[in-house]
Structure formats: C-alpha cells, structure tokens
A = this chain, B = another copy of it.
C-alpha cells in the first residue's frame, strides 16, 4: 500500500477496497449528516444503520441506497438513539459510531456509561483531527483540539499511540510525530510539559511506540517547514515533514484547527479515540465534506 497523502488518496484507496465497514448513526435529522452518508454509500465503503429518523433519512438518501446497505432501528428520541447505537457497537454489530443531531454531552453520556458504554476501563478518551491543508504535502494529524484540556503525561502517551495506529492505517511506514511548544527550548519551570516531552522522546527512542520518530519541543514552523528549521540552526529528524502534532493544550490545538479551516482552506476529519470503535463527533458547524472525510477515516 502506498501511503495516503491527501483525502483524495484516501477516497481512492477506499473505492478500490472490496469490504465495507458498518457505521451506526445516531439521530440523523440534519442534512449535513445525511449528505455525508449518501456520499459514503455512493463510494461504497460503508453500510449504515440509522437509529431514529427513518422517514427523514429515507427521503434524503433516495437514489443513493438500496436495502442491502442501509438498515433502520427505531428510536424515540436522540438520547434513546444514542443508547441503542452504543449498544450495537458494544455487541459488535457496528464498526464505528457517528453523531447526528444530538447534543454532544448526551451522546458522550451514553458512550462513557461505565456499565453500558464503549470506553474500556482505563482507556484515555481523546480527539484526533486529520487535516488536508492545501499548502502542505501530506495529511497532518493533530491532537487534542476538543476533549482533553491539559493532557497529563499518561494522556500524551496514549495520544501518540493512537497517532501511530492511524498513521499505520494510512500506510505511513515511519510516521514523524512532533511535540509542539512555542520554542525549541525545554523549560521545566515555566512549561512543565516540556519535561514530559523529554521523557516521551526517550520512550520513543526505546521503541515503545513502534517504528515512529518522535521529537520535540519544536514549534509549528520548525515541525512543518524545512527552511524554518534550517533558519534556526536546528537539527531534527522531523525535518519539516511532521505527519502528526501533539499540542501542549486544548487552546493551542483548537486555535490550529480553527485557523486552518477558516483561513487556509483546509479540509478536516475528526475522530474520538480510546473507545471500542471510532466515534465521529463532528460539530454542527462542520461541513458535509468534513463529516464525509471523518466517515472515510473511521472506515479505513
């Protein structure tokens, strides 16, 4: 498999694949969600189970689906739909879960329920975004713009493991993961997380994350631009070609996400990781394209 360097590569890869993933969708009462599902059906990489909103979904998918690839389960409310969809993932009846028109807190409540949810005990829940930025020559993964405010060392380690897994699924043989900070200097007094970075680098050197390159602290430009790295007289194996970025906190990750989508024309896909199966947790403001690419990443 060649490495996937753009969303267009990703869709081509999925188009050529014979198998389909089973996606369960919670309360698909909005057209951005149904448009994304229609496109995935046209591409043929996913089957869908819609929980709730049967009549609306059928009208929206008219011409895109036949009975073999779409099923319906009744639900009385978005919350009821969430509980039923989560149970299907838990019982191996679905390979991924997608949020429709339901309050995020309500969906997470079902996902995180200790008895009936799908976050295994001890697993770290985090959000990973995959971005296709026109001005960058490869996909760029980053974490965490949405879930963990100030990651602990344990949480950062899990983020790196999830990154390595997704990069591997994208055919990236030796992913380059950059630990982001505003400078390249470790300063454990003002920025304690830079000490964590040093420990993570050591673990990576010992092969704890498999065949990945981890370096940091590096700033965003040094991570993604070879000329900027050279201009600072820095020598990093990332070499301006980061595949993935670990941000120090949610504020930095969120600003990056919103800047590339607002000002750079970037397309993004987003997934919750840590759960038994990937959860597509797009926000209301996301475009149908973003939801479609999230489905594609969840189906890889």
Contact = CB atoms under 8 A, between A and B. Distances in A.
Interface string A209-240: 00000000001110011001001100000000
This protein's copies in its complex: 2
A284 B231 contact: yes
Contacts of A145: 182
A68 interface: no
Interface in A168-197: 180-182, 190-191
Interface stretch (A12-20, A53-61, A259-267, A291-299): A259-267
Given A231-B284, A285-B221, A285-B232, A256 B254 contact: no
A87 interface: no
Given A252-B255, A255-B256, A261 B221 contact: yes
A48 interface: no
Contacts of A254: 182, 219-220, 252
A263 B182 contact: no
Interface in A134-151: 135-136, 145-146, 149
Given A232-B285, A255-B252, A224 B262 contact: yes
Given A149-B190, A258-B220, A135 B251 contact: no
Nearest to A259: B259
Interface in A107-126: none
Interface stretch (A75-83, A242-250, A274-282): A242-250
Given A263-B133, A263-B264, A255 B180 contact: yes
B284 A232 contact: yes
B255 A264 contact: no
A182 B220 contact: no
A58 to B, nearest CB: 26
A258 B149 contact: no
A242 to B, nearest CB: 12
A263 to B, nearest CB: 4
B248 A251 contact: yes
Contact of A256 (B232, B249, B259): B259
Contacts of A220: 254-255, 258-259, 262
A219 B264 contact: no
Contacts of A251: 180-182, 247-249, 251-252
Lowest 9 A-B CB distances belong to which pairs? A182-B254, A220-B258, A251-B252, A263-B264, A231-B285, A221-B258, A252-B255, A259-B259, A135-B263
Given A180-B255, A220-B258, A252-B252, 19 more contacts: A135-B263, A145-B182, A182-B250, A182-B253, A220-B254, A220-B255, A221-B258, A228-B262, A231-B285, A232-B284, A247-B251, A249-B249, A249-B251, A249-B252, A252-B254, A263-B263, A263-B264, A263-B266, A264-B264
